[in-house]
Amino acid sequence: MSPATTGPGGTVPATDGTPPAAADTPPTAAGTVPVAVIGSGNIGTDLMIKVMRLSRTLRMGAMAGIDPASDGLARAARLKVATTAGGIDGLVEMDEFAGVKVVFDATSAKAHVRNAEVARRHGKLMVDLTPAALGPFVVPPVNLEEHLDAPDVNMVTCGGQATIPVVAAVSRIAPVAYGEIVASIASRSAGPGTRANIDEFTETTGEAIRAVGGAAVGKAIIVLNPAEPPLVMRDTVYCLVEGAVDAGTRERIAASVRDMAAGVREYVPGYRLKQDVQFDPVEDVVVPALGRRFTGVRVSVFLEVLGAGHYLPDYAGNLDIMTSAAVRTAERIAVLRGWVST
């Protein structure tokens, strides 16, 4: 077994979802838009495999890392992908870089600042999987087309990618006064990177619940579940809708959530609702986040995210949804910018 490596989603055991020989199987997809991945850890390697196996829009141009001995660079080389251990500077020096349209950053928030600057200087679209959030938040089924011209788009957080679509699904039917999400992930999928940035996770996700999900106030909580064997990602979404919510509006909200879940499932097959959308009356209670009393309905949605097992373990749905959203974002922007025909 390869040693664990650290990326923006943390550290997970470097066990593939497929046997080693199958993991090095030549790609079956045949995209035309060249992309590069910076970061040869688990996140970057999973991105590479998703592009090569699944995307009919993107194709791997290069992978850059800083550890010459990383499993990601070794696997890329076996798959005939051009590699460098020189980071962003090494990538720029590669012949393949000239044709690259999209750069995925799977490094760190600190490294992203310079990576984004270099990519912008060379006219490359940056898709940011780090907590840096220098560019606008993007959640593919919600607001991707609003940021077509942005040079740097940010994938929020794993919790944000899983739950913000649900908040948006509710808010497009009825105003959401308060949105709260609880993301529960396997402790083994949360390495030093995740653990050191818990506050940033909650702040970034809470902000995106408002900015992208449409809630007036947002809050995020993350739970690291130490259970063994590791449990898959579970998410709970609470939305407070003020005032009376009649039966017709409830059914429209439930239908909106189901439709949104189906949209996410197009690129994250393991994403699903655990049960029907729940509606509970709330009568004249104090909501501290609102700073006032509230009467209305609490909408509760319970989710599960099972990873695809391309490279990361299938319990690491929290990491898988980030790489899947990043690939989806790059594919759609490539089409919307006219780099490929639909």
Same domain? For 25 and 140 the reply is: yes
**Per-residue pLDDT tens digits for 195-219:** 877 888 899 999 999 999 999 999 9
Does residue 9 lie in a domain region?
yes
**One domain, residues 151 and 234:** no
Residue 13 lies in a domain: yes
Please check if 42 is assigned to a binding site: yes
Q: Is pLDDT above 90 for 9?
A: no
CA distance 305 to 293: 34
Say if residue 12 is in the same domain as residue 146.
yes
| One domain, residues 269 and 283 | yes
> Of 167, 260, 258, whose CA–CA distance to 220 is shortest?
167
Q: Which candidate, 37, 35, 29, places its Cα nearest to that of 56? A: 29
Q: Does the residue 311 lie in any domain?
A: no
- 209 shares a domain with 196: yes
Question: DSSP letter at 137?
Answer: B
Question: Domain check: are 190 and 50 in the same one?
Answer: no
CATH code: domain of residue 80: 3.40.50.720
Q: Answer yes or no: is 189 a known binding residue.
A: yes
* Of 2-16, 55-69, 319-333, minimum mean pLDDT range: 2-16
Least confident of 16-30, 62-76, 274-288: 16-30
Q: How far is residue 114's CA from residue 110's CA, in Å, rounded to a whole number? A: 8
pTM of the predicted model over 0.75: yes
Q: Is residue 296 part of a domain?
A: yes
Measured CA to CA, the distance from residue 119 to residue 112 in angstroms comes to 10
pLDDT at 71 over 80: yes
Question: Residue 251 above 50 pLDDT?
Answer: yes
- Give the model confidence (pLDDT) of 117-166 as tens digits: 999 999 999 999 988 889 999 999 999 999 999 999 999 999 999 999 99
The pLDDT score that the predictor gives to residue 342 is 58
The residues that are catalytic are 158
- Domain assignment present for residue 100? The answer is yes
Question: pLDDT at position 210, please?
Answer: 98
**CB-based contacts of 157, cutoff 8 Å, min separation 6:** 131, 201, 204, 205, 208, 220, 322
What range does the domain containing 250 cover? 158-305
Question: Based on the domain organization, do 124 and 65 belong to the same domain?
Answer: yes
Residue 89, domain member (yes or no): yes
At residue 157's C-alpha, the angle toward residues 156 and 162, to 5°, is: 105
Shared domain for 147 and 6, answered yes or no, is yes
Question: Has 131 been labeled as part of a binding site?
Answer: no
Residue 115 in marked binding region: no
CATH number at residue 255: 3.30.360.10
Q: Is 154 marked as a binding-site residue?
A: no
Same domain? For 173 and 249 the reply is yes
C-beta of residue 210 within 8 angstroms of C-beta of residue 217: yes
Q: Do 8 and 150 belong to one domain?
A: yes
Tally of domains within the chain = 2
For residue 310, tell me if it sits in a domain. Answer: no
Site of tokens 């199958």: 22
**Shared-domain flag, residues 65 and 190:** no
Directed axis angle between helix 158-171 and helix 198-211, to 10°?
20
Q: In terms of domains, do 240 and 301 share one?
A: yes
- pLDDT one-digit tens code per residue, 289-304: 999 999 999 999 999 9
- 341 in a domain, yes or no? no
**Mean pLDDT over residues 240-265, rounded?**
97
Report, as an integer, the average pLDDT of 314-333: 96
The residues near 85 (Cβ < 8 Å, ≥ 6 apart) are: 64, 65, 66, 67, 68, 70, 73
Task: Give percent of the chain with pLDDT exceeding 90.
Answer: 83
